[in-house]
Structure 1
Amino acid sequence: MADDDSPQLSPPGVAPASLRLGVSVDLREATTVVHASGVIDASTAPRLWETTSSILREHPAVLVVDLTKVAFVDSYGLEILALVEERARPDTVLKLVAVGALGIAGQATGIPVYPELAEALVPAVPPAVYPDRRGKAGRRDDRCDELWRRVTRATESRISGTTCAETLCATVLRLVPELETVTLTLHTDEGATCVLAASHSWSNQVEELQYTTGEGPGITAFTRQREMIVPDLAATGHWPGFTHAADRIGVAAVFSFPLPAPLRLGALTFYRHHRGCPPEPVLADARALARISAVMLDRDDDLLDQVARTTGYDEVCHAAGILSVNLGVPTDEACVRIRAAAFANDMPVRSLARAVVADPDQRHRLLDL
């Protein structure tokens, strides 16, 4: 194939290309769809290239080539599709729609193949936040594409009154049931925590333990931006306060995945009642689902309102302020004392904070003032 923009193909001297190949362009928000119909061979392939190369020069976010109405493609046509894949920018997502033998042949071009246009039009995950790529950036394997489609469908059709985070938790657990329970939690570098959703009250209780002790796999996954794979929590040696408390309520294994940079929102964490590591394909799905969850949350217009409604730690800040004044210590030290008191009294930190704020006698007893 020549290096310039015009493929050097020899026409076989048959009917004009315009009569043998129909090409039209459909713009759908960030996606450009090229519809082809008829025959793609040596005489018609340059027409398809003329259209697709012109679009590629505009740097589209997503380019879909729809071949569902194409009756035949020879080696020249496949060479054009391979050239499209070669010339596309790394941040352009390419998709090919084809069925039957044409779909099988299309796989050789390096462009992901979809059996229906509707599936190809499902919004693509932004390449910058997707880790599982093959070849050029943005080319994802079939499993990751399937996870994205299923999560997207679930969030778009979620029941009225259900938050995006709640839908994500329910969908994620359906996709990786081997991990038993899941929580979706936001964190900040200052130590604030917001449990957006939890699949079970038990997993929500475990998150409360992380906040009370100020340590745990979800917090570490967030601060270090590194997954925490802990198949045997009791044997890990990390997070002694959290591990002791979590073991008492039956937490045996933890798998936490950061909601990744550049979004860096928090963590998707799975808790199990029994020890052991699930198969690697399950963990690979969980990694991809953490990335997908980050994208969905970043696009959720109601997220900030939900955080304001569900943070629930204002009373901790209030209690820390009271203690800071009473003891003449900085507020961060006051927060540490409140957490320590909650742990010592076997109480959720928010429950202790509410008691500190509401009752001076309780304040002196619980905080040992």
Structure 2
Amino acid sequence: MTTPQDSDHPSPGPADDADLSASLAGLAGLSSLGSTLETVLTRIAEYAVQAIPGADGAGLTLLEPDRADLIVKSAPFVVEVDDIQYDLGEGPCVDAAAQGRTMRSGSLGGDPRWPRFGPRVGRLGVHSVLSLPLITPTGVVGAMNVYAHAKHAFDENAERVGEIFAVPAAVSVQNAHILAQAQRLAQHLEIALAHRAAIDQAIGILRARSGLTADEAFDRLRQLSQHQHRKLAEVAATIVQEAVNRARHQHRPPPAPSS
């Protein structure tokens, strides 16, 4: 989105295209395996700073419908700027994600689109922003804020470069998100299986002690859980551990006779 004061722009140079190419190559080689989602997204934000002429720092916001949005940054000052934006619920990244289009400003302090956000970040010495929606075939997965301290730091060429970079960046963000979701699901399944095993073992112990049926033993577990205000799996684990401790004590060899 072009503002009137940004109408006079230099033409793109070979250095800009070289930086973009290097950043795109970095994206292509970026792997989520062995890295946290936050680490991968931070690396993407760092590549954006490398790719877009005039950038001093960048933040990336991942929209997660069932979780709090994940926000990362490439430089410390971005944290303060984005905190203001999200506390107010007003700013270029908010609009870029909501409207699915690029937002650009070279004088945030006087930009009428963000009358509360702009002056506050302007007083911090941050005057230019380029906000890019991260769009995939399934929709907007997030947005990227690229900031500069100088006024009018981003021209039409910077916007062009940013929009080119945002296409594969969106795919990288989506892929990293999908992998993170799969890893979370696997962890939840692993925990659920461990809990199920403990519950089954506890049911077996109660049946052996009291001659209960499986249903009766499970009801006994639920009653204990409610009475103790503890999760069912925790109660089951306690029963199993107590049974193990008793078995160890019973099979402990007698002390050797003294000479």
TM-score, normalised via structure 1 length: 0.39
* Alignment of structure 1 residues 203-218 onto 2, 5 Å: 203-218=78-93
Q: CA deviation at 1:252?
A: 0.7
Which residue of 2 is the match for residue 35 of structure 1?
none
Match for residue 73 of structure 2 among 183, 188, 198: 198
1:236 aligns with 111
Deviations 1:310-365 (A, max 9, x none): xxxxxxxxxxxxxxxxxxxxxxxxxxxxxxxxxxxxxxxxxxxxxxxxxxxxxxxx
Q: Which residue of 2 aligns with 1:322?
A: none
Q: Distance in 2 between matches of 1:278 and 1:229?
A: 8
Secondary structure of the corresponding residue to residue 135 of structure 2: coil
The alpha-carbon distance between structure 1 residues 280 and 295, as it changes in their structure 2 partners (threshold 3 A), is same
Partner of 1:271: 147
Q: CA-to-partner distance for each residue in 1:152-210, whole Å, 9 max, x for gaps?
A: 12x13998567211221222222225211101112468996430x20111111111111
Cα separation, 2, equivalents of 1:213 and 1:304: 29
CA distance in 2, matches of 1:142, 1:250: 29
| Structure 2: runs of 5 or more not aligned | 1-16, 185-259
Counterparts of 1:294 and 1:251, CA distance in 2: 25
User: Which residue does 1:292 correspond to in 2?
Assistant: 168
Segments ≥4 residues shifted beyond 6 Å: 141-146, 188-191
Q: How does 1:16-55 map to 2 (within 5 A)?
A: none
Residue 170 (structure 1) aligned with residue 170 (structure 2): no
Name the CA shift for 1:306/1:208 in 2 (closer, same or farther; >3 Å).
Answer: farther
Cα distance between partner residues in 2 of 1:172 and 1:245: 24
- Could you tell me how far apart the structure 1 residues matched to 2:84 and 2:49 are? 22
Q: How big is each residue's C-alpha offset from its partner over 1:254-291, in whole Å with a ceiling of 9 and x where there is no partner?
A: 11010115330121111111101434333212111112
**Identity between Structure 1 and Structure 2 (%):** 25
What are the equivalent positions in structure 2 for 1:53-92 lying under 5 Å apart? none
CA pair 251-191 structure 1, distance change in 2 beyond 3 A: farther
For residue 39 of structure 2, what is the amino acid of its counterpart? T
CA contact (8 A) 1:182 1:199 kept: yes
Mapped contact 2:44–2:169 kept (Cα < 8 A): yes
Aligned pairs, how many?
165
Counterpart of 1:235, as a letter, is: G
Shift of 1:306: 9.9
Q: State the alpha-carbon separation in 2 of the partners of residues 271 and 298 from structure 1.
A: 23
Match of 2:235 in 1: none
Q: Highest CA radius of gyration, 1 or 2? A: 2
Alignment correspondent of 2:244: none
Secondary structure of the residue aligned to 2:144 is strand
Structure 1 equivalent of residue 123 of structure 2: 248
Counterparts of 1:174 and 1:144 in 2: how far apart (Å)?
7
Give the 3 Å change call, closer, same or farther, for CA 158–187 of structure 1 in structure 2: closer
Q: Distance in 1 between matches of 2:102 and 2:79?
A: 20
Q: 1:156 to 1:261 in 2, by over 3 A?
A: closer
Q: Could you say which residue in structure 2 is the equivalent of 1:338?
A: none
Equivalent residue number for residue 148 of structure 1: 24
Contact 2:64 2:70 in 1 (8 A): no
| Contact 2:105-2:129 at 8 Å conserved across structures | yes
Which structure shows the bigger proportion of residues in helix conformation? 2
Structure 1: give runs of 5+ residues left out of the alignment: 1-140, 308-369
Give how far 1:247 is off: 2.0
User: CA 1:247 to 1:145, structure 2 compared with 1: closer, same or farther past 3 Å?
Assistant: closer
- Residue 217 of structure 1: CA displacement? 0.4
Distance in structure 2 (CA, Å) of the matches to 1:182 and 1:290: 13
Give the Cα–Cα distance (whole angstroms) in 2 for the partners of residues 203 and 169 of structure 1: 11
